[in-house]
Amino acid sequence: MNRPAACLFDLDGLLLDTEPHHARAWSQAATRFGLLLSPDQLLSLRGRRRSDNVDQVRIWIAEAGLAVPSAAELLAVQQPIAIRLLRGAAPMPGARRLLERLRDLQVGMALVTSSGRDAVERKCAPHPWLEIISERVLGDDPELVAGKPAPDPFLLAARRLGIAPGSCWAFEDSLAGAQSARAAGCVVHVVPGTALPAAALHELQATADTVLGSLEDLRLD
């Protein structure tokens, strides 16, 4: 039977099409401090917590020999851009139908996202169907020690659902997220974003058990 005990879902780039907006916000914020981020740098920010990305961008600014803003100064530029852009994020193809099908099959579900509570609430507000998933591990979850790519977020989600990680299917679009799910011992399904460079796609595929064109391609018995 091709059916999991539980499904653990990433949010950004997996259920909602937010990644282009996140990338644009980091890109514009870094530019404000004199740094042009490369496509590879922007890709490496995917799937990670805001606090981890702030640290990373500040390191890149320092490495470029530029004046390094404080974390607060960087976020004061990046956050308003991100908030404005993310209002328009659309569902990923098949996301809503898959959640409804899993609910009907009474499969346990959890959201496992690097986004913090305020950002999750903002992004989910236009999409009430996301409330189908009641269990949530957020990037600023008080029980969470390390974020993706560490296994902690998926281990915590499985523990809260009372299901062994190896019996959970994890759904991810980013390398950091797929690495996190694999390290936790989950079955890893990846849905690579479009326009992913070949090397990044290969690395993502190597981390996954299955690669889906979209969530519409998942087969459940």
Segment lying near Mg ion (by CB under 5 A), choices 11-19, 80-88, 182-190, 194-202:
11-19
Segment lying near Mg ion (by CB under 5 A), choices 28-36, 47-55, 128-136, 204-212:
47-55
User: Please, which residue, 58 or 123, has the CB nearer to Mg ion?
Assistant: 123
Assess 47 for contact with Mg ion (CB under 5 A): yes
CB of 176 to Mg ion, least distance (A): 8
User: Please, which residue, 52 or 173, has the CB nearer to Mg ion?
Assistant: 173
Q: How many residues does the chain have?
A: 221
Q: Could you tell me how many residues of this chain bind Mg ion (CB under 5 A)?
A: 7
Active site residues: 10, 12
**Structure tokens of 141?**
């979850």
Assess 139 for contact with Mg ion (CB under 5 A): no
Binding site for Mg ion (CB under 5 A): 10, 12-14, 47, 173-174
